């Protein structure tokens, strides 16, 4: 058993903007089940404080002249101990964890997450009288990137792991910020936190962590190339012997069509005949024509370039002439929201666009849809294709990252050997997308083949158990003296 401090800037169900929250809300639970002694460290945003029921104050200290308290609670629905970093000056404000309600990044994000990191470092070095010192500190994304860097300055320290959930988000700030934060001078170097004259939080993890992971084996490989490396491929190549990819699992309790609390009609792979009832209900709810013969294509996503919005928009004119209904739920860049909404207004029978964040609707879309659209330009792991597989909703994906690792194309050969579970584009283009949709629609007309594809998808094992075991093995490696 090891003591693991798991650091994340979001964790479901307390606070969520994307996939990181899903991972941080379920991997620590899986690790606890495998006898690891877990603490999850999270900022005390107002949404988090509103959701917790029982809590106690553990410790207090001042950082940059701001009082900070550590509050202990539990991750709802589990026994995982959560330590909240309560610094009202930095975290008690309306809006999101990283940006205000207009989508603008908080002006003081560097300070907010520097404090978060310094608290983590104090816990790691047992300097907050918490009576618990981790063997391993597991950091996630740029918000915790300073932790391995700051810990590297100590000889007696826990092992450090840094997981990249998305290399595109790096936590870049100007050099002045480095000075204002009084970060140790020796960290300002090219083989340190400096990135072309800027302060890079993510480099703190990539340069200094004992082990680096990403959330799928393919993405771990891809980020070594300039195309996916965002300027960090050189550094990652230098550290490649410490880099590996561990595929995310999913929370199988929360994403289970057999028990899903948001579904009126539950189903599993042995009762697939019940699934279409979900489509009828959603068609009624969203005022779409109720028609079982149309293939419903769902999408629940951040509306950003990464998610393939450009090729989707290029395809729409043709897509809406096909026997399909598209249902898109998401928020993101305004120009995508506007374009999609305009298309939906012009073609209300074919396309429904719901701008917003809606957990219940996300589940209903997964259950109602026949196909799921995820033609990402890159995808570190992707969770929605995994939810779709579990809900017998066949993903249409590009061959990148975690999508390539989890979706098996419905080629003739794969259909025959019963491994096919979705549709993989040859490349990321509108033409390839339309070809795949056409291929999918041809198979949708063959109920027996379709049923088999759904069964193949639904019997996939995406539980956390295997991946948690891989993390434990990695922790052991990081703890070994010759790491």
Residues that bind ligand ADP (rule: CB under 6 A) add up to a total of: 17
How far is Cα 334 from Cα 303, in angstroms, rounded to an integer? 9
Interface with ligand ADP, residue 393, by CB under 6 A: no
Which residue has 């950082």 as its token pair?
Answer: 63
Binding mask 185-224 for ligand ADP (x = CB under 6 A): ----------------------------------------
Nearer of residues 83 and 219 to ligand ADP, judged by Cβ: 219
* 330 contributes a contact to ligand ADP by CB under 6 A: yes
Q: Which stretch binds ligand ADP (CB under 6 A): 15-23, 94-102, 143-151, 432-440?
A: 15-23
384 part of the interface to ligand ADP, by CB under 6 A: yes
Nearer to ligand ADP among residue 444 and residue 471 (C-beta) = 471
Shortest reach from residue 384's CB to ligand ADP, in Å = 4
Round to whole Å and give the CA distance between 114 and 87: 12
Please give the radius of gyration of the chain, using alpha carbons only, rounded to the nearest integer: 23
Q: How far is the CB of 297 from ligand ADP (least distance, A)?
A: 16
Q: Does 468 bind ligand ADP (CB under 6 A)?
A: no
Residue 23 CB, shortest distance to ligand ADP, in Å, is 8
Count of beta carbons in the 10 Å neighbourhood of residue 465: 12
**How many whole angstroms separate alpha carbon 273 and alpha carbon 23?**
31
Nearer to ligand ADP, 64 or 169 (CB): 169
How is residue 107 written in tokens?
A: 């002006």
Q: Give the binding range for ligand ADP (CB under 6 A) out of 129-137, 259-267, 275-283, 323-331.
A: 323-331
Among 19, 134, 204, 249, binds ligand ADP (CB under 6 A): 19
Q: Compute the C-alpha angle 214/218/223, nearest 5°.
A: 65
Within 350-369, which residues bind ligand ADP (CB under 6 A)?
A: 357-359, 362
CA–CA dist 481, 476 (Å, integer): 10
Tell me how far apart the alpha carbons of residues 36 and 469 are, in angstroms, rounded to a whole number. 11
DSSP state of 179: H
Residue 261 C-beta: closest distance to ligand ADP, Å: 15
* Helices and strands (DSSP H and E) totals, the chain: 20, 18
Q: Is 43 one of the binding residues for ligand ADP (CB under 6 A)?
A: no
> Rounded to whole angstroms, how far apart are CA atoms 7 and 80?
13
How many angstroms separate the first and last alpha carbons of the chain?
19
H/E segment holding residue 400: none
Contact criterion met (CB below 8 Å) for 323 and 297: no
Nearest to ligand ADP of 243, 300 (CB atom): 300
User: 365, 336 in Cβ contact below 8 A?
Assistant: no
Instruction: Say how far apart CA 124 and CA 477 lie, in whole Å.
Output: 19
CA distance 211 to 138: 9
Residue with tokens 């606890």: 32
Q: Measured from the CB of residue 57, what is the shortest distance to ligand ADP in angstroms?
A: 32
- The two most distant CA atoms of the chain are separated, in Å, by 67
18 lines the binding site for ligand ADP (CB under 6 A): yes
Residue 392 sits in the site that holds ligand ADP (CB under 6 A): no
CB of 463 to ligand ADP, least distance (A): 16
Give, in order, the Cα–Cα distances in Å from 417 to each of 209, 313, 411, 421, 459. 42, 35, 10, 11, 14
431: how many CB neighbours lie within 10 A of its CB?
14
Site for ligand ADP in 273-302 (CB under 6 A): 300-302
Identify which range of 34-42, 100-108, 377-385, 419-427 contacts ligand ADP by CB under 6 A: 377-385
Nearest distance, CB of residue 105 and ligand ADP, angstroms: 17
Q: Which two tokens stand for residue 420?
A: 């096919």
Give the binding range for ligand ADP (CB under 6 A) out of 49-57, 193-201, 338-346, 380-388.
380-388
As beta bridge partners, residue 159 has: 136
Q: Which of 382, 392, 395, 422 binds ligand ADP (CB under 6 A)?
A: 382
What DSSP string runs through 353-369? EEES--HHHHHHHHHH-
- Cβ 56 to ligand ADP, closest distance in Å? 31
Residue 22 within binding range of ligand ADP, rule CB under 6 A: yes
Does residue 383 bind ligand ADP (CB under 6 A)?
A: yes
In the complex, the smallest distance separating the C-beta of residue 412 from ligand ADP, rounded to whole angstroms, is 29
- Options 128, 329, 394, 404; binder of ligand ADP; rule CB under 6 A: 329
User: Which span (260-268, 286-294, 329-337, 414-422) binds ligand ADP, by CB under 6 A?
Assistant: 329-337
Q: Is 8 in the site for ligand ADP (CB under 6 A)?
A: no
Q: Which of 66, 12, 9, 7 is nearest to 41 (CA)?
A: 7
| Residue 321, SS3 per DSSP | coil
Binding flags for ligand ADP, 406-445, as an x/- string (CB under 6 A): ----------------------------------------
Q: What is the binding site for ligand ADP (CB under 6 A)?
A: 18-19, 22, 300-302, 329-331, 357-359, 362, 381-384
């Amino acid at each position: 058993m090891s003591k693991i401090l798991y650091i994340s800037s979001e964790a479901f169900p307390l606070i969520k903007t994307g996939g990181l929250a899903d991972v941080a809300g379920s991997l620590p639970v899986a690790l606890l089940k495998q006898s690891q002694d877990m603490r999850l460290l999270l900022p005390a945003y107002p949404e988090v404080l509103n959701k917790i029921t029982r809590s106690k104050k553990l410790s207090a200290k001042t950082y940059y002249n701001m009082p900070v308290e550590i509050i202990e609670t539990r991750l709802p629905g589990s026994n995982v101990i959560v330590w909240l970093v309560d610094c009202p000056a930095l975290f008690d404000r309306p809006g999101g964890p990283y940006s205000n309600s207009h989508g603008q990044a908080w002006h003081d994000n560097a300070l907010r997450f520097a404090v978060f990191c310094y608290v983590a470092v104090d816990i790691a070095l047992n300097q907050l009288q918490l009576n618990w010192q981790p063997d391993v500190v597991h950091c996630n994304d740029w918000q915790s990137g300073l932790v391995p860097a700051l810990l590297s300055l100590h000889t007696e320290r826990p092992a450090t792991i840094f997981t990249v959930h998305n290399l595109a988000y790096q936590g870049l700030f100007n050099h002045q910020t480095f000075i204002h934060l009084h970060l140790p001078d020796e960290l300002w170097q090219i083989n340190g936190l400096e990135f072309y004259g800027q302060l890079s939080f993510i480099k703190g993890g990539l340069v200094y962590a004992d082990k680096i992971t990403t959330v799928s084996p393919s993405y771990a490989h891809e980020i070594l190339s300039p195309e996916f490396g965002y300027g960090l491929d050189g550094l990652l190549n230098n550290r490649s012997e410490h880099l590996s990819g561990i595929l995310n699992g999913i929370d199988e309790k929360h994403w289970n069509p057999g028990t899903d609390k948001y579904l009126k009609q539950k189903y599993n792979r042995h009762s697939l005949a019940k699934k279409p009832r979900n489509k009828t209900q959603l068609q009624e709810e969203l005022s779409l024509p109720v028609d079982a013969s149309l293939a419903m294509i769902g999408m629940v996503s951040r509306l950003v370039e990464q998610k393939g919005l450009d090729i989707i928009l290029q395809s729409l004119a043709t897509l809406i002439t096909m026997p399909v209904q598209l249902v898109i739920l998401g928020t993101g860049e305004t120009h995508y929201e506007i374009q999609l909404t305009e298309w939906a207004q012009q073609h209300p029978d074919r396309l429904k666009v719901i701008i917003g964040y809606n957990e219940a609707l996300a589940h209903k879309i997964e259950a109602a849809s026949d196909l799921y659209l995820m033609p990402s330009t890159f995808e570190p792991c992707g969770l929605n294709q995994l939810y779709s597989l579990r809900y017998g909703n066949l993903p249409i994906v590009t061959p990148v990252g975690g999508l390539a690792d989890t979706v098996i194309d419905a080629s003739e050969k794969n259909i025959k050997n019963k491994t096919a579970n979705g549709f993989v584009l040859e490349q990321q283009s509108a033409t390839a997308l339309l070809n795949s949709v056409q291929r999918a629609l041809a198979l949708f007309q063959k109920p027996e083949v379709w049923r088999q594809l759904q069964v193949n998808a639904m019997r996939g094992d995406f539980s956390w158990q295997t991946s948690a075991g891989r993390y434990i093995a990695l922790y052991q490696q990081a703890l070994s003296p010759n790491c």
